[in-house]
Structure 1
Amino acid sequence: MSIEWVNRAVDDLRAWGRAHGLDVDVDEVRLLCDYASDYLDVNELGDFTPVAFEELLLNIYPRKVIAPPESASETVAAARTLVDFLLATEEIGGKMAVRMRLVLDRIEPEMPVALADTSRFGMAKSLFSAMGADSLEQGDVSLSAVEEPVSEACDCPGCSPLPPVRLAPRETLAESVLRVPLVTDVRRLVQWMLAGGRTPTLKGRLRVRDAAEATAQLAVADPTLLWNLAVYTGLVEVEGAAIFDGEDFDPLGTWAAVVEFVVEKETGGAVTGDSSLDEELYGLCDMLYRLQAPVPIPLVTEYLEEIGLTEDGEIDVRDVVRRLAYCGLAEPGDEVLELTPLALWGLREFYADLGIEAPEAADLTVADASELIEGLLSGIPTEMAEADIEGWLENRTPAEAATELLGAASGAPSIARGIAVTVVDRLGPDAEAAVRAYLEEAELRPHAIHWLSARGLAAPALTQEEVLWMSVDMLALAMPAAEDDPETFAENMSASGPSAHVIEEMWRVDHPDVVDVLELLGRSLEDQNTAKAARKAAFKARSRAIG
């Protein structure tokens, strides 16, 4: 996984830019680092070479990144900034920096041509070029989106579908509860109260003198919070002045109550160190639950600033992370904020109590190809999807993976077929024989030809009919995301969609989605003449189907 070193590099780059008054395109540099890590075995900043930049910008970007040719100058500028940063931080020497800059000078006029060359597109880029770049990653391409129209809803958590979450085994979670410092301290406080014959007030509250003694003797920061939590979770039962220690300790039941208390009840800043943030803790945890990925500390700070909680460093986010780690909600660390497996489980239970559907994600690494495709279509977060795909592929040879995936795609809807061939696009030449076997299958033949050609392997030429069919198939995959975000779809179609003369001929394609695709183009295309051609082609396709 590249995320740790990339996050550190981006944090350092952002700080370097601020220190030197530079406007750094952090997102573009992050993308450079991510792709270098994933495809070029660049595991730290010092691993960058001139060859790495050439491979990134002239090979990997044209194959993987959906971007108009005119964006090349921005990417090259970001690469130049990265070189300056590498030199300034002594990750590279002066001679290496000169070589890198010369390579970038040569790449700059070549990259727009490479981005515009559709023959260089990888299968994934071909499939999603007409969609928003983040549509698959954000779970917009889902079976539910295809099967049921989504009605307009507000932005509250109850109306925004939760992504599937991967849960740890219950036995592991139950054992983890006993190691949460907050839970440990609560139980210590209860035992200390019982052992000393101490009693709460008639209203069940911790007495002031007991709180002071507990702080001194047990070295706990906030015994009042601990006592209130003990009462809420049932670790003690308050009946008048009596205290009872529950004999049947249910770790997960207790933990569910802990999570509800910490994120929902009035805690006055005792959890995060800031009363306002305590009040917004549910929202913060909800965001992390939906992302299901580590969030760099600077981005957490920006998030808190955006929701009006902090500015000018009023809240020490690293201290917040330490406090949440004490509570068992966050993984310990100073670089990122990430929910623990216990937090994911507890929040899912909390959502269920609120009546919010919180799906659980199956382990796709042990699934068959059909189950893998179905799982990827369910809208699982990017990090989880990537891990599942990698784990699934590791359990098979390239030939086995291609055979299973393409077999599952055979006769499947276009959206499932698109996911299957996107995963197959990750495979190298060792899968050649398995892919070549599907040249005889009409629906998969164009994809197989594309796959072979992209790897420089012998392949038949695509016929005009096959080009048209593949264009319709790709656009059919894009339809759910296009309906959700027509503006982004229209923009991407302008940058990388089929030409007008191709659209005019699409009505001839024997594809089950051809009418829907042409109607979508007729509604979405910005160029009015091309949109009119799409509507006329849709009319012809409907007429042919009726006839």
Structure 2
Amino acid sequence: MARPILPVPGRTGVGHAGLPLSDRQCTLDVMRMQFGVDEGDAFHERLAELSTGFAAWLDEHELVGEPMSAELLMQYKWLAADGDLASWPLEQLTEFLDDWCPHVMAEHRLPLRLVPLTVVVFVEYLDEQGLLAQASPRPSAIRRLCTGFADTYDELEAGPVEPLLAEFESPPDPVRIPSPADRARSAAQAPILRDARLLAQWCGEGGRALTKTGNLRLADARELVELLGTGDDVERPGGSRLVRAGQLPTLTWVLGAAVRAGAVRRDGGRLVAVPRFAALDDTTAHEDLVLGARDEGVLTVLGDRRADDDEWSGDLIDEGLDGLLDAADAPADEIERHAVEVLQEHLEAVAGRLADSEDDDEPLPHPADDATPGFLALLRHPADGLEFDTLAELLGLVLGWSEWYRQLDVVPATTGTLVTRLERLGLVRWDGAEPVPDSGAPGEVRRAGGRVTLTPGGIACALLVLSAEGLDFPTRPDPAVATAADVVGLAGEVPPDQWRDDIDVWYAAQPDPAQAVSAFVTEALAPGRPLVVVLTATSVAAERFGSIVDDLLHEHLDGPHRAQVARRLVGRGLLDPDEVEPDLLLHASVDVLAVTIDTIAPDQWPELFAREFPPETVPVFEVLWRLDNPHLGDVLAELGANHPDQVVAKAARRARTRWESRTGGG
């Protein structure tokens, strides 16, 4: 039901400039209220007068409204309707609220929530000032119309403008950790590893002399630009001279990362290779280089890293993710505020922290690097990646680039710089990018467009970098090298089809299939396993591995999940129900229905209820209410309300009443 818009206090019966309301038409004649599309100057003059008067009137009467929304309403009337500011037909207001306004507000990221209320209050203002045409619908009719849009605008206000941000409102699917072989191949292809190996080889046995300040000599820097293919411009723009190696940005960060990773080191005024690094396998060497690059600040492109390792910021209003907002109490773009809050809540979740929206003093995770939100988003799309433009919009919004820098090309250009670095680090592929003119450097070009996807090494290193910030993104192992516990633990964590595929890959990789199935069943029935995992894993095991599973289940009849084991064996005719404890199968039925209620859509309940309790089971309810099961009350309530057989439903309701009498309803 739509939330009613608050009424405006009663009017005094006095019109514009103290005139009686009966003299409104005279006032309309005095103040011009209709304008053609070619009368822009006159319209904007009147708009300013009405907006100023409306704002003062809101203050005088202590009413809620937004003059900016009233201005937008008048702009619509002039640009898209008849230009008559004194008359507000309901069909025009419907077009404004249903189509025109949401598009404009979203495009310019303006607050939406108060728009329907402001329309009502603005018309009330016109009416009180004697400026509302007699032929116009009355404020009461307009109020009824706008009330129907209140909830819609609340939802528009709450929704992020970028669909990608909506993903952060739900937990991510665990990302599969690439196999050791895939990671090794990916690392071997990483340009940064090639850079480090070539740099160490270039140093030679005696090393290379450095300047007195520990930098590369200019001649050596020029040689390395060519050798490593960094793309740095050794010919300075405007004919200026290259005076130090630090003026070559890519070479500078590549060297810095190699030094921090231990591929080379400065020793006695010389740059020398480090034998230990040369002995590392490609995967380890690559990971060391990525962490070295992170420590060097390569993953942040607009200055220093915003926080040290393991640092939590309690004042995100002034920095980091809340760079969008100038102060805690300052007016802010509510859509952008929501986007920031969504990502902050996601950061809390992956850091294992419970969000507490009631405690404003609770510190929030503070990403150290510009790449952090990009990694969080790309890990949700490990196979197909993200469009570059989508990634740029995300980073611009979340990191505040869109607010800090208003120039049109800054966000995509800055994103391009970051992605280029990630590409050289071997963390992403940037496919389909095209050269475009660089507005910040006339005559130069930069890349844009295309799609950005994490490499296998990029997935592993992104998880490593996030972990260094205290962010534990959910993962699932490569099934070919996973344990039985790993595979069973994925039940309910990944989509069912993916889970079954992982089981098949895991099973195919096992040297002893019979032992593997035994381990799988044992893990599925381990103490502490949630009931939904027990039910799902045993069912899928039988589906995938065949009758051997039933033989193995007999070994678990005395285990912690004996009710479900007995239920399955009885159902398959492999166990005499008379050999089972009298209440055990009833416990199993109640537990199964409890899982059903929690996991299955309500429209599927009747069919499942009928299968579990067909009409001939009505006598069971005479004893079922005495069962000591924590789920019994909820199950009886749903059976009574949703069982398709009315006799069974009535028996369930009667059993529920008896259960309440016995337990007090708790």
TM-score, length-normalised on structure 2? 0.38
Larger Rg: 2
Which structure carries more relative contact order (alpha carbon 8 Å, separation 6+)? 1
